[in-house]
Structure 1
Amino acid sequence: MRRSPRASVTTKPSHGGPVRQRATTIALAAIAATAVAAPVAQAKTTITMSGSTSVYPLITSLARSYVTSGPGKGKVGFVVQQGGSDTGITDVSRGRVTIGNASRAQQPSDPGGIVFNKIAYDAVCIITNASNPIGTLSQAQVESIFTGRTRSWSQVPGARATGSIELVSRTATSGTADAFREIFLGGQLSIAASAQVKSSNGLVKQTVEASKGAIGFVSLDFVDSDLRTVNYQGVGCTLRNAKSGQYKGVRPFSLVTRGKPTGASKAFIKWVQTSSAAKAVINQHWIPVR
């Protein structure tokens, strides 16, 4: 798995809801290539974020670029926490953070008065253990497996694993889980209650790596040679296929604000959406918004 950008890291409990996995502080003083980031207290403005574990690698890369060589240099600092898309959306709606990071589309049930500022698209990949490559799955097969109707690998054409299928899913606050249900389960079906529930992409990845009978789903950025990705409807989950539109398992990444963005948040979001520097970061592992 690709490592997140270098930054000073502290761990602290959440203000309500699930415990945050990490809080990353990215300071805005001029930073030499080998220097340690200065404390956020030295920055004039601090942008606080919480939310999606899928958006986390991208947003920390963008924030690092913004404060080291972009217009935020010496002016802005970032504190980025995780916790899931729904947590970020709730946090920003209640004024707990400046921006909520979301890896799903806006829903009617979301709090009123928030704005989804789209910054990129990301592919969601179905993954299996490295010892259990599967050629391709149709939507009907994916639905049957993840709803629990298909329970044995012997019922899945091409599978090398034997025995029971071990489903690995995400917590209720996960935008990746919401996107998976919308894209792969038609938005109407639910993942089987027997599935193991994990709080992050990284934990899903670790679980599938460790069990020959496991199957789950993660953001494309978390895929590496320790896993197998499953072709969906005959198309591989690759960045090239996602960018071309051939791979259909794609969802939006958004920076969610309380009302239209203003001040430092507005400047950062505009830079992310329009600058060539931000586009270069996004193009590495994600799909820019056209």
Structure 2
Amino acid sequence: MRRSPRASVTTKPSLGGPVRQRATTIALAAIAATAVAAPVASAAKTTITMSGSTSVAPLVTELAKKYIASGQPGYNKVRFVLQQGGSDTGITDVSRGRVTIGNVSRTQQASDPGGLVFNKIAYDAICIITNPANPLGTLSQEQVSSIFTGRTRAWSQVPGARATGSIELISRTATSGTADAFREIFLGGQQSVAASAQVKSSNGLVQSTVLNTRGAIGFVSLDFVREGLKTINYQGVACTLRNAKSGQYKGVRPFSLVTRGAPSGEAKKFIKWAQSSAAAKAVVNTHWIPVS
């Protein structure tokens, strides 16, 4: 009798220096055995290490689990270790050879180290969120820009707002690909979020802060929109998976698995599978937008 693949989850500090956050490390391994045969020593596993975007992490976790369970040749010889810390962290780690793959949730930039290959696997929507006690209708790009750059500072200045008092901006740290994509898409790439904003190191922390702060407004990956949070229509279009897939919702950015040079070995096989297999596309379709 053969056991099905299983995944184990542990935690440990992320790679690099002391400024990194502690992150979940996900070790995914397939184990095969028989009930009647004597145990056989397992072959050494190839470890694919990843670090980077907290937005990409849920997708690559599901893809890695599906990859192991798919029965691809050599599937039981691969182990995935995932750490987070932001897209810029992933880029730095992969460029310096610390990890096999950097998970990145923004477009490639001229300032990125040379020799990197951005292997696109999906697109993702960024949603603007408010506390459930302060639902808003729709915001134009100019209104979003005015709020997040600090020109509009009080909820009394925002049509339809139910909150009172000052606007509490919740943003992301400088290493965040979501923050970079937000600036590019919603702020026109020429402005930055106000220095008065509270900065958080992950989508989850932005989510929980907005959920527990009546006067807060922030932005997260669509996959982090949970029951109770209110998403704001952007330019009259709701931030939903359907609207993002149709192209109506414009707050969309790419997800990439970044390698130093062209991917090779087990990483190449995994990336090719993630980009082209029906099984991977089915995973992407649940909360994200397929590349094609």
Q: 2:258 aligns with which of 253, 256, 259?
A: 256
Query: Gaps spanning 5+ residues in structure 1: where?
Result: 32-40
1:144 to 142, 146, 149: 146
Letter in structure 2 aligned against 1:66 = Y
In the TM superposition, residue 196 of structure 1 has moved relative to its aligned partner by 0.1
Runs of 4+ in 1 over 6 A off after TM superposition: none
One-letter amino acid of the counterpart of residue 205, structure 1 = Q
> 1:43 touches 1:77 (CA, 8 Å); kept in 2?
no
Q: Does the aligned pair in 1 maintain the 2:11–2:23 contact within 8 Å?
A: no
Aligned residue in 1 for 2:28: 26
Structure-1 residue corresponding to 2:168: 166
Cross-structure match for 1:37: none
**Deviation for aligned residue 1:23:** 1.4
Give the AA of the match of 1:126.
I
Secondary structure at 1:287's aligned position in 2? coil
Q: Distance in 2 between matches of 1:14 and 1:143?
A: 35
Structure 2 residue 55 is matched with structure 1 residue 54 = yes
Closer/same/farther in 2, CA of residues 157 and 89 from structure 1, 3 Å limit: same
How many pairs align? 277
SS at match of 1:22: strand
Shift, 1:11, TM fit: 1.9
CA RMSD of aligned residues (A): 1.5
Residues 210 and 42 of structure 1: is their aligned pair in 2 closer, same or farther, counting only changes over 3 Å? Answer: farther
Shift in alpha-carbon separation, 1:133–1:265, aligned structure 2, 3 A: same
Q: For the residues of structure 1 that align with 2:62 and 2:95, how far apart are their CA atoms?
A: 25
Q: 1:126 maps to what in 2?
A: 128
Query: Which residue type is aligned with residue 105 of structure 1?
Result: T
CA–CA separation in structure 2 for the residues paired with 1:70 and 1:113: 32
Assess if the C-alpha contact under 8 Å between 2:138 and 2:233 holds in 1. yes
The residue aligned with 2:245 is: 243
SS at match of 1:148: coil
Identify the residue that residue 77 of structure 1 maps to in structure 2.
79
1:73 CA drift (Å)? 2.4
- Asked if 1:271 is matched to 2:273, the reply is yes
Q: Percent identity, please.
A: 74
- Inter-CA distance 152–140: structure 2 relative to 1 (3 Å threshold): same
Q: CA deviation at 1:69?
A: 2.1
Show CA shifts across 1:187-215 (max 9, x none): 00010000000000000001000110000
Q: CA deviation at 1:30?
A: 4.1
Shift of 1:248: 0.1
Q: Secondary structure of the equivalent of 1:272? A: helix
TM-score, normalised via structure 2 length: 0.92
> What per-residue deviation string (whole Å, max 9, x for no partner) do you get for residues 208-233 of structure 1?
00110000000000002220000000
- 1:106-165 per-position Cα deviation (integer Å, ceiling 9, x unaligned): 000001111000000000000000111000000000000000000000000011111100
When residues 6 and 139 of structure 1 are mapped into structure 2, their CA distance, relative to the original with a 3 A threshold, is: farther
CA gap 1:185/1:70 in 2 versus in 1, 3 angstroms:
farther
- Taking structure 1 as the reference length, what is the TM-score of the superposition? 0.93
Q: How far off is 1:43 after superposition?
A: 4.8
Helix, strand or coil for the counterpart of 1:29?
coil
